[in-house]
């Protein structure tokens, strides 16, 4: 019997199109049952049209169903792919505009920082509800999470639903390696690599071709190009010795070194507020795709099987062995990072499931930088689990970028402003200001 794949938040055009393009490109998955769920009726209908057009383009014959009721959608699922964005574009704009009013620079703000903390706090109640529904309706299903803040979300799910089978999946390691290989002129399929850390701040620990490290080639490339040295992750690599697995804009938010110095923003060509533009482009892409489907019924598909969720499903269904990077709770996987917090490690896939691989100690400088993110992220999760508004402020106070940029009074006032703005989307116990 073909597996049932449920996409929660299916109104995300890019995710639904790309995920299903890769799923349907596997012959063994061409007749799966796909259930699409979204709380926005127009987006749900658009998701159905995307799924049907995608199937036509690749010659697949899946069963496709759109379901507005989440419980009915989840009933009997084998795989649940989570791509929700609680609050949508309007909440993202608030995540930038309110901190900017306090003088805080952010670039992506979906995983760390004030924006990341509050994105997590408004996502946690929905994740908890999904976990409860899955425990009742599809207890053996895998939850494949793409929603940010990735590490906070996976950590939260482990805290409130430890029995749930969860993998956090992200593009950053794959596309980092693709970009590095292009930079040094070596085909990606000729290299092996080993990456570990936390989401959006993993470290390329090994990168080899025919048993020889490719880092010397990268060093030559950087030495020959002054403009390459004007990027945050190249700067971090040169100082720490290991290349980080996320863009320079995003990497700048994980450390206290760059965003509050105007000279560093200029030197490293940082695009403050970049994610607001990305989000606006996603809205425009949604409109474009919707209009194209209404006019032609056709959709351009680039099915290259690069998305991790389709690879997970294919491996678990067919027994095909693969290794991907996945986010899971840390139980002895990275031994110098805290237990229980989500880490991103190589993960073996086969017909028996997903098997995170023991990494051991990270290089001490890499672990130290990771821990400066884990502190605020753990506090944000604990704030939601315990219903403690003081821990929200504590998370913001120890955030690297906020702590480097604002006074503690400003951080406290900023948190109150964010609570007021996001109000009903937050856990009920965290919706009030907290006077000193």
**What is the residue extent of each domain of the chain?**
4-89+100-168+297-302
Tell me whether residue 369 is exposed, middle or buried, using C-beta atoms within 10 angstroms of its C-beta: 0 to 12, 13 to 18, 19 or more.
Answer: buried
Q: Could you read off the pLDDT of 193-247 as tens digits, one per residue?
A: 999 999 999 999 999 999 999 999 999 999 999 999 999 999 999 999 999 999 9
Kindly state the greatest CA–CA separation across the chain.
62
Q: Could you read off the pLDDT of 53-88 as tens digits, one per residue?
A: 999 998 999 999 999 999 999 999 999 999 999 999
What are the tokens at 185?
């002129």
SS3 letters across 28-85:
HHCCCEEEEECCCHHHHHHHHHHHHHHHHHHCCCCEEEECCCHHHHHCCCCEEEECCC
pLDDT of residue 304: 65
Torsion over CA: 337, 339, 342, 346 (sign): positive
Answer yes or no: are the C-beta atoms of 343 and 328 closer than 8 Å: yes
Mean pLDDT, residues 183-189: 96
DSSP symbol at 343: E
Coil, strand or helix at 350:
strand
Q: Could you read off the pLDDT of 15-32 as tens digits, one per residue?
A: 888 899 999 999 999 999
Name the band, by pLDDT with cuts 50, 70 and 90, for residue 305: low
Percent of the chain with pLDDT over 90: 89
Written as one string, the DSSP assignment of 389-417 is HHHHHHHHHT-HHHHHHS-HHHHHHHHHH
Per the annotation, the verdict on 171 as an active-site residue is yes
pLDDT of residue 190: 97
Pick the catalytic residue: 158, 171, 261, 358?
Answer: 171
What are the tokens at 116?
């990341």
Closest Cα to residue 75, out of 24, 23, 33?
33
> How far, CA to CA in Å, does 34 sit from each of 44, 104, 299, 312?
13, 42, 18, 16
- Yes or no: is domain 4-89+100-168+297-302 CATH 3.40.50.720? yes
Nearby residues of 188 by Cβ (< 8 Å), 6 or more positions away = 177, 178, 181
Among the listed ranges 139-148, 300-309, 324-333, which one has the minimum average pLDDT value?
Answer: 300-309
d(CA 392, CA 415): 8
What are the tokens at 373?
């993110």
SS3 letters across 223-292:
HHCCCHHHCHHHHHHHHHCCEECCCHHHHHHCCCCCCCCHHHHHHCCCCCCHHHHHHHHHHHHHHHHHHH
Give the CA radius of gyration of the chain: 21
What are the tokens at 421?
């703005």
């Amino acid at each position: 019997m073909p597996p049932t794949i449920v996409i929660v938040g299916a109104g995300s055009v890019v995710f639904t199109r790309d995920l299903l393009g890769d799923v349907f490109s596997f012959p063994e998955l061409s007749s799966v049952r796909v259930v699409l769920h979204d709380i926005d009726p127009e987006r749900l209908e658009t998701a159905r049209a995307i799924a049907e057009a995608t199937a036509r383009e690749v010659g697949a014959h899946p069963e496709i169903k759109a379901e507005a009721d989440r419980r009915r959608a989840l009933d009997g699922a084998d795989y649940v792919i989570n791509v929700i964005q609680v609050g949508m574009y309007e909440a993202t704009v608030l995540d930038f505009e309110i901190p900017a009013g306090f003088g805080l620079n952010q670039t992506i703000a979906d995983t760390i920082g004030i924006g990341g903390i509050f994105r997590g706090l408004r996502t946690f109640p929905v994740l908890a509800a999904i976990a409860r529904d899955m425990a009742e309706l599809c207890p053996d299903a895998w939850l494949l999470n793409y929603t940010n803040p990735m590490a906070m979300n996976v950590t939260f799910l482990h805290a409130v639903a430890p029995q749930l089978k969860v993998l956090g999946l992200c593009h950053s390691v794959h596309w980092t390696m693709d970009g590095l290989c292009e930079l040094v002129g070596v085909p990606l399929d000729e290299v092996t690599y080993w990456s570990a850390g936390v989401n959006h701040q993993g470290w390329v620990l090994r990168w080899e071709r025919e048993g020889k490290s490719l880092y010397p080639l990268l060093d030559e490339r950087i030495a020959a190009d002054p403009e390459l040295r004007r990027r945050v992750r190249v700067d971090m690599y040169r100082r720490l010795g290991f290349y980080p697995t996320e863009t320079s804009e995003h990497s700048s938010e994980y450390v206290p070194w760059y965003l509050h110095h105007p000279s560093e923003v200029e030197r490293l060509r940082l695009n403050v507020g970049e994610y607001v533009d990305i989000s606006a482009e996603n809205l425009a892409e949604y409109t474009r795709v919707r209009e194209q489907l209404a006019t032609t019924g056709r959709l351009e598909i680039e099915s290259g099987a690069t998305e991790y969720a389709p690879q997970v499903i294919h491996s678990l269904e067919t027994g095909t062995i693969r290794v991907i990077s996945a986010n899971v709770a840390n139980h002895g996987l990275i031994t110098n990072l805290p237990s229980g917090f989500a880490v991103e490690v190589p993960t073996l896939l086969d017909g028996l499931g997903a098997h995170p691989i023991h990494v051991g100690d990270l290089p001490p400088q890499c672990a130290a930088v990771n821990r400066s993110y884990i502190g605020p992220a753990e506090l944000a999760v604990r704030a939601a689990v315990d219903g403690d508004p003081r821990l929200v402020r504590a998370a913001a106070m120890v955030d690297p970028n906020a702590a480097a940029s604002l006074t503690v009074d400003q951080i406290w006032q900023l948190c109150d402003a964010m609570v007021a703005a996001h109000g009903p989307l937050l856990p009920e116990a965290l919706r009030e200001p907290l006077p000193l």
